[in-house]
């Protein structure tokens, strides 16, 4: 199916990432991260006190505890990642499709979307990327925790000082989870919308800067209104990219429906 409109071409409003999908995804990530941080704080705190009370070698004893905790939480995140990523991808597609269907209806087109091979591939790519990101959270966190614990042992710090640092690391892991949720929501929405457009024979879109963010990319702002090939992306900063593809990019696209003369 190829969509065209009488007369001049028509530019649709953008399909924006769904905030509800992002919030739900972030809450699921936050719950898992909170459980991990609470577990780490409790077990390391207990082990630190035991090591001092028993006059044991703190580094060796704490190292064993961290390895055990690391394996436990890597497994927990591995077990949750596939289900969490699939739910996110499914909800993203559902909301992107609903928005695009309404935009097309408002433009005078009634379209029933099919689950094409290309769309299935798009969903799979979103799932794979999300699984990798979810699994990276405990890996990065335990690397940071190990450094904090060993520094504390070497400096002879008390338990309160270590706990304060663990709280700080826990807050950073929550920020990373929030970044993953926001960034993946932008990327996944763009990927789904791209495949839907191509399946309808729509090949062009206009770049639209979000006007958000504290430090907007000047090149992304300047690209607003630029028409680009959907299959290829927009040429910005010496490469072809899609809106939302770069980290923290909140730009979106406006699909162009070509026109024809009566």
Q: What is the pLDDT of residues 248-261, one digit of tens each?
A: 899 999 999 987 65
Q: Tens digit of pLDDT for each residue in 59-85?
A: 777 788 888 999 999 999 999 999 999
Task: Judge whether residue 143 has pLDDT over 60.
Answer: yes
Burial class (CB in 10 A: 0-12, 13-18, 19+), 93: buried
Question: Could you tell me the maximum CA-CA distance found in the chain, to the nearest angstrom?
Answer: 90
Q: What is the band of 45 on the pLDDT scale with cuts at 50, 70, 90?
A: confident
Residue 158 has pLDDT above 90, yes or no: no
In the chain, the percentage of residues whose pLDDT exceeds 90 is 67
- Three-class DSSP category at 258: coil
In a domain, 72, yes or no: yes
- If DSSP codes are grouped into helix, strand and coil, which group holds residue 255? strand
* Cα–Cα distance, 261 to 8 (Å, whole number): 8
Q: In the structure encoding, which two tokens stand for residue 57, read together?
A: 């070698």
> Would residue 50 count as lying in a domain?
yes
What is the domain count for the chain? 1
Residues 2-37: pLDDT tens digits?
Answer: 776 666 888 999 999 999 999 999 999 999 999 999
pLDDT range class, residue 51, cuts 50, 70, 90? low
- Digit-coded pLDDT (tens) for 162-172: 888 889 999 99
Residue 260 burial (CB count, 10 A): 10
Is 209 within a domain? no
Cβ atoms of 234 and 262 closer than 8 Å = no
pLDDT value at residue 55: 57
Is residue 170 included in any domain, yes or no?
A: yes
Q: Is 213 a domain residue? A: no
- Pick the closest to residue 17 from 256, 249, 257 (CA basis): 249
Q: Classify residue 37: in a domain, yes or no.
A: yes
Give the span between the Cα atoms of 71 and 84, in whole angstroms. Answer: 20
Residue pair 102/15 in contact (Cβ under 8 Å)? The answer is: no
What are the pLDDT digits (tens) for 203-222? 999 999 987 767 889 999 99
Nearest CA among 41, 114, 117 for reference residue 73: 41
Distance separating alpha carbons of residues 171 and 38, to the nearest angstrom: 12
* Burial bucket for residue 186 (CB in 10 Å: 0-12, 13-18, 19+): buried
**Residue 196 pLDDT exceeds 60:** yes
Residue 55 CA to its chain's centroid (Å): 45
Q: Is 1 exposed, middle or buried (0-12, 13-18, 19+ CB in 10 A)?
A: exposed
Of 47-56, 97-106, 198-207, 242-251, which range is least confident?
Answer: 47-56
In the structure encoding, which two tokens stand for residue 193, read together? Answer: 């919308």
**Comparison of pLDDT for 154 and 131, the residue scoring more:** 131
Residue 121 inside a domain? The answer is yes
Q: Domain span at residue 103? A: 18-201
* Domain-embedded: residue 212: no
């Amino acid at each position: 199916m190829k969509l065209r409109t009488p007369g001049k071409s028509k530019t649709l409003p953008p399909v924006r990432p769904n905030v509800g999908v992002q919030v739900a995804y972030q809450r699921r990530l936050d719950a898992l991260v909170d459980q991990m941080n609470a577990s780490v704080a409790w077990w390391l705190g207990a082990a630190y006190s035991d090591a001092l009370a028993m006059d044991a070698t703190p580094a060796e004893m704490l190292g064993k505890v961290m390895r055990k905790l690391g394996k436990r939480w890597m497994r927990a995140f591995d077990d949750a990642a596939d289900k969490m990523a699939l739910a996110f991808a499914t909800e993203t597609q559902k909301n992107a499709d609903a928005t695009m269907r309404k935009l097309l209806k408002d433009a005078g087109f009634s379209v029933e979307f099919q689950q094409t091979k290309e769309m299935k591939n798009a969903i799979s790519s979103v799932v794979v990327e999300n699984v990798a990101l979810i699994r990276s959270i405990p890996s990065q966190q335990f690397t940071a925790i190990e450094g904090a614990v060993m520094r504390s042992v070497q400096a002879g710090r008390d338990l309160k000082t270590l706990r304060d640092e663990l709280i700080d690391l826990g807050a950073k892991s929550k920020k990373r989870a929030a970044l993953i949720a926001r960034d993946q929501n932008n990327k996944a929405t763009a990927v789904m919308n791209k495949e839907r457009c191509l399946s309808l024979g729509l090949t062009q879109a206009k770049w639209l800067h979000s006007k958000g963010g504290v430090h907007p990319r000047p090149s992304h702002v300047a690209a607003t209104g630029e028409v680009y090939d959907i299959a290829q992306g927009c040429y910005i900063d010496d490469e072809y990219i899609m809106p939302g593809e770069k980290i923290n990019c909140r730009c979106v696209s406006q699909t162009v429906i070509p026109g024809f003369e009566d």
